Amino acid sequence: MNLAESLLHGLKKYGVEEIFGIPGDFALPLFKVMEESEILPLYTFSHEPAVGFAADAAARFHSKPSVAAVTYGAGAFNMVNPVAAAYAEKSPVVVISGGPGASDRSTGLLVHHQAKQLSSQIQMFKEVTCDQVILDDPATAPEAIARVLRNCIIESRPVYIEVPRDKVFEACSEVPVLSTDLEVDAEALNACAEEIIERISQATSPVMMVGVEIRRYGLEEEVRELCQKLDIPVVTTFMGRGLLAGQDVPLQGTYMGMAGDADLTHMVENSDALMLLGVLLSDTNFGISEKKIDLRKTILASDGQVSLGYHSYLKMPIKALVKALNEKLKMQNVTSAVQVEYPHNLSADDEAITPTDIARAVNDMFKENDLMPIAADMGDCLFTALDIENTELVAPGYYATMGFGVPSGLGLQAATGRRPIIMVGDGAFQMTGWELLNCKRYGWNPIVLLFNNSSWEMLRAFQPESKFNDLDELNYADIGNSLGGTGHRASTRKELKESLQKAIADESSFQLVEIMLKRGQLSQTLSRFVGGIKKMRESS
């Protein structure tokens, strides 16, 4: 076995199911082995940001690592932003980069793609990954690969592996399989679980808020059981929107502070035992609270520790905690379930389309067809997605990078084989929409809902006076046709309904539904969200 094969088998052993990538000369030997060995499928894209976003979405959907493979320098640097996004939102992306070999290092010449030093690249990736290695010694490579992949899984964060181009074909042994279960102090775990149950049972209005860690660690089934046993209202964070989709739990919606449903916000902010399970304490999750949540009064289980009031249990992995709680609690009849009503029944008339109409149209479609997973970009499309039935969702809800929507939808389809809905604004589409051209090659057929308001509308909401927020009026439906899919343009509610019906019926290629919106129009959730952020900035 050579080093590249050892790496690929190792990735597979640690749960990787696919590789996304773009080669370059430093990575050509590595990509040759990827393609010819057929150990893992390889999907290539057009520009590296898409590689990173696709691997991120695949990792989120599998709750396991996925690979983004690039060439040294020009390729890897193009991927810094998506890897930073994955770091921030705790997605286990394995970055694999080709690298210069010994002969490149010894010529005394600058190596092409070199920025400052040959080590500049690993230095930069240190800031956005939780472990790194350069595989310059085949003798130690298997242990190093195992360590890095174990950390990727344990921390649920990106890692960095650089493969010098002259090491690819060197002989190498197998990557060992290390346990990814963390050691837990059984007594501490027991005490922690008892204390949580005690706090919740004594409270008058306990609430459970779930965040992305429950998906990252593959715990949704166990958390469903826990929610049923506790029988208390459950909400998700903004970032955690889409969690527990389709699971039979008393889920009441998504906490959005002053931007969200007033009753839900009141319930969360006035709870006397708010349990935050796997929740990231980000400004998008909590910054726009109506009333500041006193974190000292919450039960916070996240980042491998648990804090209750003024004390913490360290080294308390969420997986062990949920298991311990489930073992202590008994199943009961769920009484706290509520039926959340999302907007539906679009009137198919000649009126102009609003963002809420888009949610209505999708909800109507979901009543007649199966729920589909959604990949959303940043912009009003993401806030509109909150008005759609609780289906699985990938979106940059905290890091908020544009350009995520289209490539993450493609990664989602590659990873799951399921047809996704992609929701994207015209501005974000201009960044990575081009990647749809790769659908034909792999038989992907997403339904793309493109919010065309000829505008960076979300920015306009913050700063209405700036003319740079006006974007050109393009015909994106035509662009869809040119990229190998089918374009539909909808200017009225009737056309929206018809376009969606045509899109769902045609599975032969991707369907781009271009939805014409007036400049200056925002979903209610986004207007309240921007209002909340502005208020927060003014008061700080």
CB 101 within 8 A of CB 127: no
Instruction: Give percent helix, percent strand, percent coil of the chain, each to the nearest 5.
Output: 45, 15, 40
Nearer to Mg ion, 228 or 455 (CB): 455
Terminal Cα-to-Cα distance of the chain (whole angstroms): 59
Selection from ligand TPW, Mg ion, none that 252 binds (CB < 5 to 8 A by kind) is none
Tokens of residue 428, six digits = 């974000």
Find the residue with minimal CB distance to Mg ion. Answer: 425
Rounded-to-integer distance, Cα 4 and Cα 147, Å: 17
Q: Is position 378 an interface residue for ligand TPW (rule: CB under 6 A)?
A: yes
Nearer to ligand TPW, 249 or 381 (CB): 381
CB 400 within 8 A of CB 529: no
**CB count, 10 Å around CB of 124?**
17
From candidates 78, 298, 432, 455, binder to Mg ion by CB under 5 A? 455
Span 435-474, contacts to ligand TPW by CB under 6 A: 451, 453, 455-459
**CB count, 10 Å around CB of 450?**
30
Nearer to ligand TPW, 158 or 427 (CB): 427
Question: Quick one: which H or E segment has residue 409?
Answer: helix 405-416
Nearest to 513 by CA among 484, 539, 491: 491
Tokens of residue 55, six digits = 């691997």
Nearer to ligand TPW, 89 or 426 (CB): 426
Q: Is position 523 an interface residue for Mg ion (rule: CB under 5 A)?
A: no
Stretch of 98-106, 152-160, 317-325, 396-404 lying at the interface with ligand TPW (CB under 6 A)? 396-404
Rounded-to-integer distance, Cα 504 and Cα 407, Å: 20
Nearer to ligand TPW, 180 or 454 (CB): 454
Q: How many CA atoms lie within 13 A of 489 on its CB side?
A: 12
Selection from Mg ion, ligand TPW, none that 1 binds (CB < 5 to 8 A by kind) is none
**CB count, 10 Å around CB of 501?**
15
Q: Is position 409 an interface residue for ligand TPW (rule: CB under 6 A)?
A: no
Q: Where are the beta strands (DSSP E) in 330-437?
A: 374-376, 393-394, 421-425
CB of 83 to ligand TPW, least distance (A): 13
The contacts of residue 104 (CB under 8 Å, 6+ apart) are 111, 118, 165
Q: Is position 45 an interface residue for ligand TPW (rule: CB under 6 A)?
A: no
Selection from Mg ion, ligand TPW, none that 459 binds (CB < 5 to 8 A by kind) is ligand TPW
* 3-state SS class at 427: helix
Q: Is position 453 an interface residue for Mg ion (rule: CB under 5 A)?
A: yes
Find the residue with minimal CB distance to ligand TPW. Answer: 425
Span 313-372, contacts to ligand TPW by CB under 6 A: none
Q: Is position 100 an interface residue for ligand TPW (rule: CB under 6 A)?
A: no
Stretch of 177-185, 270-278, 409-417, 448-456 lying at the interface with Mg ion (CB under 5 A)? 448-456
Span 410-439, contacts to Mg ion by CB under 5 A: 425-427
Rounded-to-integer distance, Cα 245 and Cα 353, Å: 27
Q: Is position 210 an interface residue for ligand TPW (rule: CB under 6 A)?
A: no
Q: How many CA atoms lie within 13 A of 455 on its CB side?
A: 22
Nearer to Mg ion, 126 or 519 (CB): 519
Selection from ligand TPW, Mg ion, none that 401 binds (CB < 5 to 8 A by kind) is ligand TPW
Q: Is position 258 an interface residue for ligand TPW (rule: CB under 6 A)?
A: no
Q: Is position 426 an interface residue for ligand TPW (rule: CB under 6 A)?
A: yes
From candidates 242, 257, 379, 485, binder to ligand TPW by CB under 6 A? 379
Selection from Mg ion, ligand TPW, none that 206 binds (CB < 5 to 8 A by kind) is none
State residue 256 phi and psi, 5-degree precision.
-130, 20
- How many helices, marked H, and strands, marked E, lie in the chain? 23, 19
Which residues are at the interface with Mg ion (CB under 5 A)?
A: 425-427, 453, 455, 457
Residues that bind ligand TPW (CB under 6 A): 378-380, 400-403, 425-428, 451, 453, 455-459
